Amino acid sequence: MNLNTRNFYKEFIKEEIDFYLREANFDERERLLFLYRNKKMPLEEIAERMCCSVSTINRINRTMKKKIIKASKFYYSGISKEWE
Against a cut of 0.85, is the pTM above it? no
pLDDT in tens, 24-67: 999 999 999 999 999 989 999 999 999 999 999 999 999 999 99
Sign of CA dihedral 22, 64, 14, 79: negative
Q: Round to whole Å and give the CA distance between 84 and 81.
A: 6
- Residue scoring higher pLDDT (78 or 17): 17
DSSP 37-70: HTTT--HHHHHHHTT--HHHHHHHHHHHHHHHHH
The domain spans of the chain are 28-73
